[in-house]
Amino acid sequence: MKRKIFVAMSGGVDSSLAAAILLQKGDDVVGITMRVWSGEETDSTDIRPCCSERAARDARDVAAHLSIQHYVVNYLEPFNRLVVDDFIAKYLHGETPNPCIRCNRFVKFGKLLDEAIALGADYLASGHYARIRKDESSGRFLLLKGVDTKKDQSYLLYALSQHQLSRLIFPLGDLRKEETRRAAQELGLCVAHKKDSQEICFIPEGDYRAFLKSHVPEMMTPGPILDVSGRELGQHQGLALYTVGQRKGLRISTGKPLYVVRLDAEQNAIIVGPDSALYASRLEARDVNWVAFDRPPERFRARVKIRYLHKEQDATVEPKADDRASVCFDQPQRAITPGQAAVFYDGDTVLGGCTITNTRE
């Protein structure tokens, strides 16, 4: 019996090949594209944001080439409410969020998955570089890294629920990017050489400071720059202009390099210190999502990643009540940033993940 699979087509090479692979396997494939962004687009670059009008046109052209049905759904309102508003709110609280994680959980594999199922889909597929496997002994669906370690996107998917993982398919999980492009070219897909989008979809130029300045002008209120002892060294131009670990743009002269150590939203202050002040051995986190466990051990060892491009580090994870956790690293880590995700791995398997709230030395 054929599986009916909707494919979240972003107009890029990855999701396009995902649709083609499933079609070759004999599945009943339907393309579906989210519109979540309505900003202006130009022809000056080949790097175009996913989920835009142009991306929808590219997805439509691929669907026509594959002779499959294609739908476009307008998610501007829920995307703004669930992702963009949260992005702004986190910055207002002095955090640095990763909106792709929230979009995956609540929009792409939340609302879109529900819509696909309502339209008769057995599964929703996408072009993510990750893998899903069912552990027969526990009955849980496991999330694993993609084979291509340079493109692995499991970090961005850690927040998915068991229900979501049970209804998702990632056809590219066993492929490397160069294999994807080669296969797309052999199939004559018009997006075979389309460049990957590198920016946040609702900030296509990558200038999140300009975005926040226009949407939350109160974040540009000047305030004090304090050293770690509380001494005022100067004035900053607005919290949104700074991130943990930043050195340039402080406009203070002390005779030695200083870095942003912490953002204090309550005082509208930036705390700076030497490079050594950026290192911490422990972090506290909230909103833990356990993927591999129904109930986690009281304490366990893991490899932990604190940013998308961060190299995993050995640590001990201590689950706590109220979906919280502490992570103690074997070696101090630089620039652990509130708002970013900490994701726990055992080899290729995602054990779980959480949102960083603060650090301890």
Are 108 and 169 part of one and the same domain? yes
- Average confidence (pLDDT) over 264-281: 95
Where in the sequence is the domain holding 267, given as residue range(s)? 221-273
Active site residue 103: yes
Angle at 111 between CA 92 and CA 343, to 5 degrees: 55
50 inside domain:
yes
Active site residue 190: no
Are 119 and 139 part of one and the same domain? yes
pLDDT, tens digit, for every residue of 36-45? 876 554 444 4
Are 47 and 111 part of one and the same domain? yes
Single-letter amino acid code for the residue at 208: Y
Are 33 and 53 part of one and the same domain? yes
Burial state string for 217-240 with b = 16 or more CB within 10 A and e = fewer than 16: eebeeebbbbbeeeeebeebebbb
pLDDT, tens digit, for every residue of 86-95? 999 999 899 9
Are 166 and 231 part of one and the same domain? no
Q: Which of 232, 253, 273 is the last residue of a domain?
A: 273
Give me the pLDDT at residue 111, please: 97
Are 113 and 152 part of one and the same domain? yes
Are 112 and 249 part of one and the same domain? no
CATH of the domain at 260: 2.30.30.280
Are 264 and 284 part of one and the same domain? no
Give me the pLDDT at residue 107, please: 97
For residue 24, the tally of other CB atoms under 10 A from its CB is 13
Are 127 and 225 part of one and the same domain? no
Catalytic-role residue among 50, 51, 201, 354: 201
199 inside domain:
no
Catalytic-role residue among 50, 51, 103, 354: 103
Are 72 and 12 part of one and the same domain? yes
Q: What is the CA radius of gyration of the chain?
A: 22
Give me the pLDDT at residue 47, please: 44
Strand partners, 11: none
For residue 243, the tally of other CB atoms under 10 A from its CB is 15
201 inside domain:
no
Q: Which of 241, 273, 305 is the last residue of a domain?
A: 273
192 inside domain:
no
Give the three-class secondary structure for 88.
helix
191 inside domain:
no
Give me the pLDDT at residue 51, please: 63
Give me the pLDDT at residue 219, please: 83
Residue 28 has pLDDT above 90, yes or no: yes
Residue 157: left if φ>0, alpha if ψ -120 to 50, beta else—which one? alpha
Are 350 and 227 part of one and the same domain? no
Give me the pLDDT at residue 361, please: 57
209 inside domain:
no
Count of structural domains within the chain: 3
CA torsion sign for 48, 54, 59, 63 is negative
Are 140 and 33 part of one and the same domain? yes
The Cα–Cα gap between 242 and 259 comes to 10
- Average confidence (pLDDT) over 267-285: 96
Give me the pLDDT at residue 171, please: 98
The Cα–Cα gap between 170 and 200 comes to 21
pLDDT, tens digit, for every residue of 240-267? 889 999 999 898 988 899 999 999 999 9
CATH of the domain at 336: 2.40.30.10
Give the position of tokens 């692995």.
152
Average pLDDT across the chain, whole number: 93
